[in-house]
Each structure stands twice: as structure tokens, then as C-alpha cells.
Structure 1
């Protein structure tokens, strides 16, 4: 079934060269986030040739153009038709901060007034042309309620659309064409360059629970007509939605990361409650399927994310259990120092404990890295995507009240 909306006819709005940051025409079809196949269907639906989809995709993602009047290889009649019926609108930026270490954070307001956050982390050398990794959100809040994650305490509001997901990448690229205090209205499209080199679906939400918009967005990230990122530079992180892991393996070749955080079922049931539905045996089987059984020459390893919690999951015994659990699964293990948040029930493991844990994994033959915390001065580190600008969920309000009640006892 096609996801393309039927265009609604209305009087064309006055066109300008500025980027629309607010959906001024709710009835218009937002082309941002549509795959090439979806755009081809859209153009067929308005009586145009499907090849127009390639032209428009290149304008949007390779040149950053959102004003149809600037798409000069389209006929005047088509530009008028698009101006009347369609738009290219990224989510509205309501807050942004740039860290001293080069990290950038945006808070977006999406349809309905909900807020999501996106973080861009440059490589340690902070070179202009160095690696720049964008951590993208896929949902407003998260339904999985991992016990150590501040985002999970917001509860879940809704899935993001493909336009809202891709819009985060679009804005991050546009930010390099403006000064820190400039609005995106001042983007010089003649200087447009896609500066983001890596994308990780590791922001707010569980990507595999918003499957179709996430996959559509990643298709555009990989498309040579759009962002043209390498499949090794686009990573999807999941807490273990096993059926969707099998589906993803058949549909798209991107890097896979697993938010593991515990080496046995008893502990993981506590830290990552989805483990009760899809325990470690099933999760590891799905990971091996992703690496070995589908396109094995391309999917070389799985990244294992493991947040280090003092006295909870960081002992030598836990490290040895992790070695046994992973077995022959090609894995790169990323140890993540815990970032405390108000009323968290956990503490960060000491540096000595983290390094001792890492040494056991390395001696067993695994590639093991310790994530450097970045963007602390703007609350952009992992686990801090909690929407501190505003928190509008009922569940979060109830959680905060329960904390207050306990403190009053």
C-alpha cells in the first residue's frame, strides 16, 4: 500500500528563498523523507513522469534546496504545481547548543508540540572534514523503560514520521552553512555540502518499533541520489526487538548495534525489560542471523553497547559471562560510562573498573573501546536525551511525583 498522500489543491502561497521551518500549509504533502519509489508514485499521482523523483531528491538532499522555484531543471508548470500542492519542511528547531568540544545539539518541535533531541558528535580531532556522527531520534520518548535510561522515564508519546527523522539530518547538515547564531533562513545553497559522515539511530526511542519510517529514512541516507552514505556508516541500534531484526536483515544492509548492557537474562530482565519477551538466546540467534546467514560478506560485525553501572554489571564475572555469551559472534564492544541523571538509582563505574572489564574482553580477542563522554556541557552525552527543555508526558509527571512522595516520607 502506498504511503503517498493525495495532493490537496489550494491557492499557491507566495514563494520565497527562505527555508520553511513551520508547516505553514498543513494540507500540503511534505516531500521530505519520501523514498525515491514513494516520490515516483507521488509524481504519477499528479500526472507527472516518475523520473522527476530523482531530480527532486537531488535538489533536496545534495543541494539543500527546499523552495521549488529554485529547482531550475523542473518546468515552470511543474514548479507551480509543486508549490501549490507540496512542501519540503524539516522539523522546527526551538533550541540549539554548540559545545566547546564541537558537539552540537538540537531540540526539535514536531507536529503536536512534542519535543525530540538530536546530537552531532565530531571526531576527537575536530577537523572540519573529519568524521561527524549524528545521533538521530526515531520516537518521541521510549516505551521500553530501560531502568538506567533517562529518556525512558519520559514514557512514550508517538512515532516520528520519515520527514521528522530525515529532517534531523537535513538540519545538521544545514548547520554547517550558517553561523551558530544564524537561522536556517540564511543558508547559502551554493555552498551546500553534506558534512555529516556517519548516522546512528541511537537517539530517543527504539528504531525497530517505528520500523517503516526508520527504514525509509535509512534508504535515503544510503541512496546515491540523496546522501550517499556507506552502509557501514549508517547504524541502527536496537534493544532487542527480535522479529524486526530478522525483517531488517532481509530488507536493508546497514550496520547493527545491540544495546545489551547485561550478560545474563536475570540481570538483563531488570535493566532492559524487553528481555523478558525476547531473552538473550533469541537475541543472540537474531544477531548471528544478521551477520552470518544474510549477506555474510557485507555484515562484518555487530556493535555491542554496554553501559557500565557501578556494582551492577561491571564485575570480572560479568565480563567473563559476556565473553561466553558472544562466543563466535563478530563483535565490537563499546563500553559506555554511565551518565547519572536526577534520581537515578545507579552510579558510574570507576575508570579502573571499566579498564579492568575492558582488559578481560580484549584478552578474549574482542575489539573493545571505551566511549569518551562528549557534550557534557550541553547535556548531550548518551543517556541525557531527556528533553530538558520541556517534558510533557503524563508518565514522567507521575514518576516525578512518586519521587517527591518518597522524599516526603
Structure 2
């Protein structure tokens, strides 16, 4: 059977036509699905004969909730979901004044090997389909009983290592016949797969691109990010400039500050020189400490000084607002704890 969430409207129209049904039935099905009706039997304006065919060929792949954690101030909820094949993924919903944001996973596990990320421990199991990405949003909306208006592809997995499925997801989630979430309300984060950044730039979308840089030099970057062995910072800067020229969109550079590794004033000066005159923004992130590595968070004073140096060099900089810290809301931690049979603290 096929997960109907993996199909766009045109594909479902063609299926209807091939199976002797009117194409407009596809739009009716989409209307129900994106109103959180996830049983064909409950689509009461569709004839029983058509519902019977749908039940024969398709299923609506909404994941099962395994665990849920809510932060003390109720602004962050973390969910562990079980997919149809038993694999586990997680997502995080964050409540802001401007609306609800969700951070979704694009792979079960990850093969990029970044030391500061728990989702890569154990490697990658498989890619997540477009419908399984959509389903995280649909399930989360059911759980909070509110609309989600912003999507971040920054959970478990490397989006550009699952490029085709991610691009189809973007098409459906942005469609007025789908979740109708505008491109400017979507962010994709990548560790820096240079050819895919260039390919993505050529689509000339209005989606925000975030690149996990985390170091001002290759010598430092390779200590925490194996991808640095394949693509140099020089290559990342070159493709970033290509992206900016192609889309006229500002790039966000994610920079996880690790005590004694990349958080010195000299590192900030080097980063400033690297990003000089670029249409970019730096998001500083005090690293999330995880049991499986020795990385320590930078002190608040060092984070503040790092920001001061960047801003003195005219680099727009923010320190990421930490949400859900009390429930370990960083990607990979809940899935990892569940697999090991540990309580998430």
C-alpha cells in the first residue's frame, strides 16, 4: 500500500483518472486530510465506492505518539513518534507570540557524524519520505489543537542527504492544496553538502537556508564535523555567495560554541574576516552537552564576548533563545534515550 501523504495533488488526480474516478475527488481527499481527517471512512462527501478503492490502495501514514515532554513554562513540547515500520523519530514544537514553529526530522538517524549532535550516534537507518515529514506536522497539530505556521528542517538527519524527498515535501507543504505554509516560513539547515546547496540555490526558492559552520577554519571544523574532510570552508563560502547571488536571500550561519574549541576572541575575529561583506546572519548556539562526548558549553561571558566581536565587525548576530532546555529538546536526545531504555531528564 502507498502512503497517500507522499502524493501531491496532481499525482492523486492522475490516480483517480486511471481508476475510473473523477479528478475532482482528489481535491476532496486533500481537503479532508489537511483538515486532520485521517480515516477515509470519515470523508463523508466521497462515495463509498471511491472510499473503498482508497482503502484498498492507500493508507494515511500518521505516526503513533510514543512519548511527550513539555517544558516547565509550556513553550516547548517534544514528541517521540513511531513510524509505520517501527522506526522512531522526534520533533519539537515551539510556541512563539507570532505562532507555532515545528522542528521536524528528515532521516531516521544521521550519517554525518557531527560530535555535538545526538541524532548521529548509531548512524543513519533510512531516509524519511515526504509524507512522513508532513505527518509530523499533522500529528503535532492534532496534539496541540492549533495550527503550525513555521517549519524548520533541523531535527534528526541531514536534509540535503535526502534531497529529492525534501524537495517534494517542500512542494506539498507550500501548496495551497496542502498545508499552505509559505516558503518564507520554512528554514532548512545543512551541515554543508556543497553540491546540494548549489542545486538548491538553482531552484531559487524563498526558503531560509541555514548552514552549520561551527568553526572559522578547517583545522577546527574537522574536529567536530567529519563533513569538513570532504568540503572546505572556502568551498562553503563560495557556494554561499552563489546562493545569495541567485536568490537575494540572507544566509544564516549556525555556530555552536564549544568551550576551548571555537569560542575565543581570536576565533570570533577569524569568523568576522571570513564573513566580511556577506549578506548573512550568525546564530550563536551554546552547545548542547550530551553524554556520549566531551564537549562543554562555553561560558555566558565568552558567548557574549564572541557576539560583541562579530557585531563590532558589522556581522549581524543573535544568540539562540534556548527553549526546552529542561526537557533536552535538542535533536536526537529523546530517541537515543528511549532506545537505551533511559529516562529523559
- The question of a shared fold, defined as TM-score above 0.5 by the shorter chain, is answered with yes
Pair 274,44 (structure 1): closer, same or farther in 2 beyond 3 Å: farther
**CA drift at 1:258:** 0.4
String of CA shifts for 1:179-207, please: whole Å, max 9, x gaps.
Answer: xxxxxxxxxxxxxx5x2121100000101
Q: Deviations over 1:55-100 (max 9, x none)?
A: 3222212x11112233344334322321232221212221112222
Which of 220-229 and 244-253 deviates more? 244-253
Runs of 5+ in structure 1 lacking a partner? Answer: 1-27, 178-192, 393-409
RMSD: 1.9
In the alignment of these two chains, the number of paired residues is 339
The question of whether the paired residues in 2 share the 8 Å contact of 1:33 and 1:167 is answered with no
Are residues 1:347 and 2:296 paired? yes
User: Bigger shift: 346-355 or 220-229?
Assistant: 220-229
1:314 match: secondary structure: coil
Provide Cα deviations, 1:241-293, integer angstroms capped at 9, x if missing partner: 11111222223612111011011111112221112111112212222222212
Q: Secondary structure at the match of 2:161?
A: helix
Structure 2 match to 1:292: 245
- Taking the aligned partners of 1:332 and 1:148, their CA distance within structure 2 comes to 21
- 2:49 counterpart (77, 80, 87): 77
For residue 219 of structure 2, the aligned residue among 245, 266, 270 is 266
* Contact 1:116–1:387 (8 Å) recurs in 2: no
Q: Deviations over 1:294-320 (max 9, x none)?
A: x43xxx201111101011001111111
1:250 and 2:202 are equivalent in the alignment: yes
Larger fraction in strand: 2
Once structures 1 and 2 are overlaid, which stretch shifts more, 320-329 or 233-242?
Answer: 320-329
Please, what TM-score do these two structures have when normalized by structure 1? Answer: 0.78
Of 338, 342, 345, 1:389 maps to 338
Question: Do 1:148 and 1:345's aligned partners in 2 also have CA atoms closer than 8 Å?
Answer: no
CA gap 1:38/1:211 in 2 versus in 1, 3 angstroms? farther
Does residue 58 of structure 1 match 2:7? no
Larger-gyration structure (1/2): 1
Q: Answer yes or no: is 1:154 the counterpart of 2:122.
A: yes
321-330 or 48-57, which moves further after superposition? 48-57
Aligned mate of 2:142, from 150, 165, 174: 174
- The one of 313, 329, 333 equivalent to 1:380 is 329
Q: How far, CA to CA, are the matches of 1:137 and 1:243 in structure 2?
A: 21
